[in-house]
Copies of this chain bind each other. A is one copy, B any other.
Amino acid sequence: MYSYDELFRIFSNHLEKQSFSHNPKELYEPIVYSIAQCGKRLRPVIALMACDLFGGDIKKALPQALAIELLHNFTLIHDDLMDQSPIRHGKETVFKKWDSKLAILAGDALFALAYDYTLQSETHQLPEILKIFNKTALQACEGQQMDLNFEKRKDVLLDDYLEMIRLKTAVLFGTSLEIGALVAGASKKNRQLIYDFGINVGMSFQLKDDLLDLYGMEEVFGKRTGQDILDNKKTYLFVQALSAAGPKARSVLLSYFHEKELPEKEKIRSLKKIFDELGIEKMTGNAISGFLNKGMEKLDMIELPEERKQPLRNLAQTMINRNK
Contacts and interface: CB of A to CB of B under 8 A. Distances in A.
B101 A27 contact: no
A81 interface: yes
A222 interface: no
B134 A112 contact: yes
A126 B145 CA distance: 30
B82 A104 contact: yes
A81 B82 CA distance: 13
A109 B138 contact: yes
A142 B108 contact: no
Classify the secondary structure of A's interface with B.
Answer: helix
Contact of A111 (B81, B100, B111, B146): B111
Contacts of A78: 104-105, 108
Contacts of A149: 24, 26
Interface string A108-132: 1101110110110001101100110
Contact of A124 (B81, B123, B148): B123
A101 B82 contact: yes
A112 B141 contact: yes
Contacts of A124: 123
Contact of A148 (B101, B111, B119): B101
A134 B109 contact: no
B145 A119 contact: no
Nearest to A84: B101
A108 B141 contact: yes
Q: How large is the interface on A (under 10, 10 to 19, 20 to 34, 35 or more residues)?
A: 35 or more
B145 A26 contact: yes
Contacts of A22: 142
Contact of A27 (B107, B126, B142): B142
A26 B116 CA distance: 30
A137 interface: yes
Interface in A127-174: 127, 130-131, 133-134, 137-138, 141-142, 144-146, 148-149
Nearest to A101: B82
A23 interface: yes
Nearest to A133: B115
A148 B133 CA distance: 30
21 contacts: A22-B142, A23-B142, A24-B142, A24-B149, A78-B108, A101-B148, A107-B108, A108-B137, A108-B141, A109-B141, A109-B142, A112-B138, A113-B138, A115-B115, A115-B137, A116-B138, A119-B134, A123-B123, A126-B126, A126-B130, A130-B130
Interface of A: 22-24, 26-27, 78, 81-82, 100-101, 104-105, 107-109, 111-113, 115-116, 118-119, 123-124, 126-127, 130-131, 133-134, 137-138, 141-142, 144-146, 148-149
